[in-house]
Chains A and B, each alone.
Chain A
Amino acid sequence: EADIYQTPRYLVIGTGKKITLECSQTMGHDKMYWYQQDPGMELHLIHYSYGVNSTEKGDLSSESTVSRIRTEHFPLTLESARPSHTSQYLCASSADRKDSPLHFGNGTRLTVT
């Protein structure tokens, strides 16, 4: 089934660890996004990509980095996790039309101890 998948769903790690949050979509979408969201709160755009080899920072300053080597894959990496990174991270994608909605993944809930 065409969808957008995120792994892991939950992650608890210690301070200073390097982590990568995985996001893959099987819808053939060019546009992909990463949002940070505390439960039930605002959606903050931290990274986006318009296609392969295209990545941009979003509105919210983030110490994370992203890559887009393949259309379907848009991983997010934290080089050194800190307790302030504790949050939910939502990946999304959209088709190549400006009136296309976003399709969200189920999210990764990250806790940094």
Chain B
Amino acid sequence: GENVEQHPSTLSVQEGDSAVIKCTYSDSASNYFPWYKQELGKRPQLIIDIRSNVGEKKDQRIAVTLNKTAKHFSLHITETQPEDSAVYFCAARSGGSYIPTFGRGTSLIVHP
């Protein structure tokens, strides 16, 4: 089955800095890669996703890049703000399954 590794587990940055979270996956058949943000005490919510036929996708201050050859994908947040503080989860979904495999999460702390 699919295995997703996510790093780092904790990331601390100053407001205005950039933050990068990386995930690797094992199943070369995986073709859908969503990212979820979970604020303290709230539910995980989709913030951006990418499909395997695309190398990069941007939405304002966040972007996701995908390297299918190396089997890794990354979340990039620019000009971080305190409200970006949350736990971020990456996931990968294999073409043969509806079940996503989640990474263990990254706790991002943005210091004002």
User: Which residues does A use to contact B, with CB under 8 Å?
Assistant: 31, 33, 39-43, 45, 48, 50, 58, 90, 94, 98-99, 101-107
Contacts and interface: CB of A to CB of B under 8 A. Distances in A.
Interface in B35-75: 36, 38, 40-46, 49, 51
A93 B88 CA distance: 19
Chain A contact residues: over half helix, strand or loop, or mixed?
loop
Contacts, number: 53
A43 B44 CA distance: 10
A31 to B, nearest CB: 5
Given A31-B98, A48-B99, A50-B98, A40 B43 contact: no
B31 A107 contact: no
Interface of B: 31-32, 34, 36, 38, 40-46, 49, 51, 87, 89, 93, 95, 97-100, 102, 104-105, 107
A28 to B, nearest CB: 16
Contacts of B107: 40
A105 B43 contact: yes
B64 to A, nearest CB: 13
B34 A101 contact: yes
Given A48-B98, A102-B44, 9 more contacts: A40-B87, A40-B105, A41-B105, A42-B105, A43-B102, A98-B32, A98-B93, A102-B34, A106-B42
A103 B100 CA distance: 12
A48 to B, nearest CB: 6
Nearest to B91: A102
A74 to B, nearest CB: 14
A2 to B, nearest CB: 15
B28 to A, nearest CB: 16
A98 B95 contact: yes
